[in-house]
Structure 1
Amino acid sequence: MTEHAVAHVDQLEEDRALRVKAGDQTLIVLRHNGQVRAYQAGCPHAGAPLEEGAICEDRLICPWHKAAFALNDGEVTEPPALASLKRYPAQVRGDYLWVDDQPAHAPLPAPQGAGRTFIVVGAGAAGSAAVASLHRQGFAGQLLWIDPEADPAYDRTALSKFVIAGQQTPAQVPALLDDEVLAWPNLRRVRGNVSGLDAVNKHITLADGQQLTYDAALLATGGVPQRPAIPGAQLPGSFVLRSRDDAARVLEQARNSRRAVIIGDSFIGLEAASALRQLGLEVQVVSRHETPLARQVGHPVSRALRRLHEQNGVVFHTATEPASLEGHERVEAVMLTNGERLAADLVLFGTGVTPATHLAQGLPLGDDHSLIVDSGLRAAPGLWAVGDMVNFPLAGHPLRIEHWRVAQQQACLAAENMLGAQREYSDVPFFWSLQHGKTLEVLGHGRAWNAIELTGDADGMNFVALLCVDEQVESVVACGHRALLAMLSQRMKRPLSRGEALALIHS
């Protein structure tokens, strides 16, 4: 253990992180409420430089994906990071800040839940977040983690952004959990499919007939990608994109293709269009909408997104739908309802998912077959559910949100409630999308906005758009303003007026 003088005290501004070196360690140091602290410089999730983030509401927020950490001790408080920051001993002596180059030992949580059996079904973003949360909270019982994939718990967001663009191999997709969690003695991973759930008697049955009894269980089964009910939708060369294996198949086909057709202008469809253009394919997008995602991002941003894609060679076919896929042994063309025929070597469906609620027999379901949960994400006594599969109340409105980080937020909260907490979900949804080198960020959930306040240049992809209901900000859509969105990810947990938001944008 060696101390290093890393900064002069005059460099330590209140609530502003400073990147420094302590021997071989790259750290950030910051002063908050008069106390100076030192933490690892990169976010545990994807290595984002934390000094470029924001400090708000006693939190340090990652600039890239809005993970949040408590300023006083570095404890992770919001995903997608699932581990806390390493803290390094620091003290001011004379005119300099001295920092040890070895991290302080993190205190162990008090054990809780000894003798109980918890089950988590699903090992995507939500299931992984729940396991990590239970580990951080000191769960001392037995945790069974069930999923059919051989190597689950990976970052699915990389599939449409990087893998099918050829920038990452499927094997290079980052894992969600570190080795410490995966080696946790209380954790037993069970590979298999769940065939039945008895929520009254708290039994889960596996496809091989094995029956498991639980004290508390979490369903995190996500959604099932949809293929439209049209002739030829199952032809070889047509794909959905959900898993690492799906991405590997799409990439293999793309490398042997010249022409791709994307069905649907969803975020995953647009990301796939961008990725396949990077591989050099001719890409056409089929959509019912004149411009993509107008309801989610507002018309000015929607128009700018279409222009961005067209400037990069993507061709749109709008106000139409696929009527059929044609081909002899594999897909050769997409026939549209307007009579057009689009030649294709590869077809990718970006047409949404169906909630994977096949286990929820006898539990209340919504019209879209999502599982209805309460504000604490409880579906039945001792049973919680989160993510794409659930309909949950937010600010008094029933919602189903297919956002990766929302699923993680909910899973962390549900894990606390499984241990006896009584928390209610009231976090701010956030997601991001990478298209043709531009990062679009969306914060909040614009249910029924009636006004848009646009600051900046939408066509130049450097803007902030406020989607409002009258004078109340419901959602913020931005490109090129990561630190601002990081700050707003905490500030929007309370009502935010249009006037205050504009003041923050221009401050």
Structure 2
Amino acid sequence: MALHAVAHLDQLDERHATRVKAGEQDVVLLRVGDNVRAFQADCPHAGAPLDEGAVCEHRLICPWHKAAFAVDDGEVCEPPALSRLTRYPAHVQKGEVWVDDQPQPAPVPTPREPARSLVIVGGGAAGAAAVARLDSKGFAGRLVWVDAQESPSYDRTALSKFVIAGDMPAEQTPALLDEQTQASPNLLHLHATVNHIDAKAKAITLADGQQLAYDGALVATGGIAQRPDIPGALLPGTHVLRSRDHAAQLLDAARQARRVVIIGSSFIALEAASALCQLGVQVHVVSRHAVPMAKVLGDEIGRALRDLHQQHGVVFHAPTEPVAVEGDTHVQTVLLANGERLATDLVLFGTGVKPATDLLKGLPLAQDQSLLVDTHLSAAEGLWAAGDMVTFPFNGQAVRIEHWRVAQQQAWVAVDNLLGDAQVYADVPFFWTYHHNKTLEVLGHASDWDHTTLEGDLPRFQFIAMHCRADQVLAVVACGYSRAMAALAQRMKQPLGREQAQALIHSWDIA
């Protein structure tokens, strides 16, 4: 244990963290009036430097993926981080900030609900987030986590960005939970498939016939990658991308290919196009939409994204769609509705997912077969749901949002309700997408808007754009405005006018 003088109080800006060294230990300082808090310097989720984030509404927000931590004690308030910040003792003496290089012990939650039996179904983002949330809340009852995949829960967002580019081995995609959480004595992790959930009986039947009774359950089974209903969609050489195995198989095939056809222009499909370009293959994208991702980004940004891909050699065929995948023992060509026939060595279907709700009987489903839940993420008495498989009320509309962080946010809300801590989903949706070394961030959710305000240099991908309706900000799309987006991630939890948002953006002076 050793104290180190690391800064002067008047050097610290309350709007963001300041990175310093306490001996050999990197820490960030947060000023709160005349007091200072010291925490680990990098986000526990993916190692982002927290000094590049923002402080807003008494929270420190990660610059990369918008995890949020309480300024007072470092408690994690929003995912994708699932653990609190390590705290270091700090005090101010005569205007000088002193920090101990040894961390404070982490607080231990008070045990609760020892007599209850809970079940979580699904090993993806929402399932793992729910396990972490229950652990942090001190749940002391019986917890059964049913997961069909053999490997521990992992960060699937890396698959389309890094794994299929050859930048990260599939088996090294980061785990979502630390070893301590996975080794919790009251956690039973079952690698099994669920056949049926009987909400009335509060019972879950596994594929082997075993039954699990529960007091409360969270179902988070996600989605199943879809192939179009066309001839040849199952030919050898056709691929989907939803798992480590899918990514490894796709990478192996792409390394031996010269031409790749990607069906779809979702952000996953376009991330795959960007990644596969790094392997030196010729990439063709077939899309129903002339402008990719226009429903989320808007036409102007969608066109800029298409231009970026074209500058890196991607060839777009749009608007059209495939009518057949052709070949004898292996894919050889893709026939399009416009009459084009594309020669190819492999096909990747980026055509969306189907909600994995077949295991649910007697519960209300939306037209797309997603499970209908209320603002508390409740589907039935004692049963909650989260993630890609649910349609939920948001800003007066019933929506389904297939984003990694939204699934985690919903899991936390569901767990809080499961434990009796009444909560509603009122968070700000966020996702990030990576194309040719450019990271686009999207905050909020807008099904339509009447005006877009764009600042910065769109062709250089240094911009921020606000999609507004009646002068209220519904969604923000940006590249290169990490601090402003970090602050907006908190500020947009309340109604935000366009001029207010512009003032916040300009206050960071980072354009």
TM-score per shorter chain, which class?
over 0.9
Deviations 1:137-163 (A, max 9, x none): 000001100111111310000000000
Match of 1:150 in 2: 150
Per the TM alignment, residue 310 of structure 1 is displaced from its structure 2 partner at its CA by 0.3
Asked whether the equivalents of residues 462 and 479 of structure 1 are also in contact (C-alpha less than 8 Å), the reply is yes
Residue in structure 1 matched with residue 23 of structure 2 by the alignment: 23
Q: Read off the aligned partner of 1:204 and give its amino acid letter.
A: I
User: Are the counterparts in 2 of residues 14 and 34 from structure 1 also a CA contact under 8 Å?
Assistant: no
Match of 2:182 in 1: 182
Kindly provide the amino acid, as one letter, of the partner of residue 258 in structure 2. Answer: R
Contact 2:390–2:400 (Cα < 8 Å) also in 1: yes
Which residue of 2 is the match for residue 61 of structure 1? 61
Contact 2:16 2:60 in 1 (8 A): no
Q: What is the aligned partner in structure 1 of residue 315 from structure 2? A: 315
1:13 aligns with 2:13: yes
Identify the residue that residue 297 of structure 2 maps to in structure 1: 297
The separation in 1 between residues aligned to 2:244 and 2:320, in whole angstroms, is 30
CA distance in 1 between counterparts of 2:288 and 2:14 reads 51
Farther off after superposition, 13-22 or 44-53: 13-22
The one-letter code sitting in structure 1 at the alignment partner of 2:480 is: G
In structure 1, distance between residues paired with 2:95 and 2:445 = 47
Contact 1:484 1:505 in 2 (8 A): yes
Partner Cα distance (1:45, 1:250) in 2: 27
Which stretch of structure 1 is more off in the superposition, 6-15 or 191-200? 6-15
Deviation at 1:236, TM superposition (A): 1.0
Q: Tell whether 2:287 aligns with 1:287.
A: yes
What SS does the corresponding residue of 1:92 show, helix, strand or coil? strand
Match of 1:49 in 2: 49
| Mapped partners of 2:505, 2:490: distance in 1 | 15
Which residue is equivalent to 1:436? 436
What is the CA–CA distance in structure 2 between the aligned matches of 1:207 and 1:340, rounded to whole Å? 45
Cα deviation code 1:106-143 (max 9, x no counterpart): 22111111011110000100000000000000000011
Distance 1:34 1:413 in 2: 34
Partners of 1:226 and 1:33 in 2: CA distance: 53
Indicate the residue corresponding to 1:263 in structure 2: 263
User: Partners of 2:429 and 2:315 in 1: how far apart?
Assistant: 31
SS of equivalent to 2:28: strand
In structure 2, how many angstroms separate the alpha carbons of the residues matched to 1:90 and 1:296?
44
Deviations 1:319-374 (A, max 9, x none): 11001111111111111011111111111011111111112210000111110001
Contact 2:16–2:53 (Cα < 8 Å) also in 1:
no
Q: Is the 8 A contact 1:15 1:32 kept in 2?
A: no
CA contact (8 A) 1:447 1:474 kept: no
CA deviation string 1:274-322 (max 9, x = no partner): 0000111100000011110111111110110000000000000001100
SS at match of 2:388: helix
Shift of residue 10, structure 1, vs aligned partner: 3.0
CA contact (8 A) 2:225 2:241 kept: yes
Identify the range of structure 1 (4-13 vs 334-343) with the bigger mean alpha-carbon deviation.
4-13
Q: Give the CA deviation at 1:434.
A: 0.3
Give the aligned partner of residue 328 of structure 2.
Answer: 328
1:78-477 equivalent positions in 2, closer than 5 A: 78-477=78-477
Whether contact under 8 Å (2:26, 2:40) holds in the other structure is yes
Cα distance in 1 for residues equivalent to 2:33 and 2:150: 47
Maintained 8 Å contact 2:45/2:81: yes
Q: Is the 8 A contact 1:327 1:333 kept in 2?
A: yes
Q: Per-residue displacement from partner, 1:423-478 (whole Å, max 9, x unpaired)? A: 00010000000000000000000111111111112111111111111211110001
Between the aligned partners of 2:22 and 2:503, the Cα distance in structure 1 is 38
Displacement after TM superposition at 1:95 (Å): 4.1
SS of equivalent residue, structure 1 residue 190: strand
Q: Secondary structure at the match of 1:384?
A: strand
In structure 2, what is the Cα distance between the partners aligned to 1:238 and 1:450?
40
- Contact (CA 8 Å) 1:124, 1:152: kept in 2 or not? no
Separation of aligned partners in 1, 2:281 and 2:22: 47
3-state DSSP of counterpart to 1:387: coil
Match of 1:505 in 2: 505
The whole-number CA distance in structure 2 between the counterparts of 1:116 and 1:30 is 39
Separation (CA, whole Å) in 1 of partners of 2:32 and 2:349: 48
Per-residue CA deviation, residues 228-273 of structure 1 (Å, 9 max, x unaligned), is 0000000111111001111011011111111100000000000000
Q: Distance in 2 between matches of 1:298 and 1:323?
A: 28
Give the Cα–Cα distance (whole angstroms) in 1 for the partners of residues 14 and 403 of structure 2.
Answer: 34
Shift of 1:24: 2.1
Tell me, in whole angstroms, the C-alpha distance in 2 between the residues paired with 1:14 and 1:442.
26
Which amino acid in 1 is paired with 2:379?
A: A
Say if 1:69 and 1:84, in contact at 8 Å, map to a contact too.
Answer: yes
What SS class does the counterpart of residue 38 from structure 1 fall into?
strand
* 1:12 counterpart letter in structure 2: L
Paired residue type of 2:183: A
Q: Which amino acid aligns with 2:178?
A: D
- Contact 2:35–2:91, Cα closer than 8 Å, also in 1: no
| Code of the aligned partner of 1:248 | A
Who is 1:77 aligned against? 77
Structure 1 window deviating more from structure 2 (437-446 vs 32-41): it is 32-41
Q: 1:12 to 1:502 in 2, by over 3 A?
A: closer
Where 1:388 maps in the other structure, the secondary structure is: coil
Given residue 502 of structure 2, which amino acid in structure 1 is its aligned partner? L
Distance (Å, rounded) in 2 between the aligned partners of 1:34 and 1:70? 17
Instruction: State the shift of 1:83 in Å.
Output: 0.3
Among all aligned residue pairs of Structure 1 and Structure 2, give the percentage whose two residues are the same amino acid: 61
The number of aligned residues is 507
Listed one character per residue, the Cα deviations across residues 186-241 of structure 1 (whole Å, up to 9, x for unaligned) are 11100010001111111001000100100100000001111000000001111110
- Counterpart position of 1:4: 4
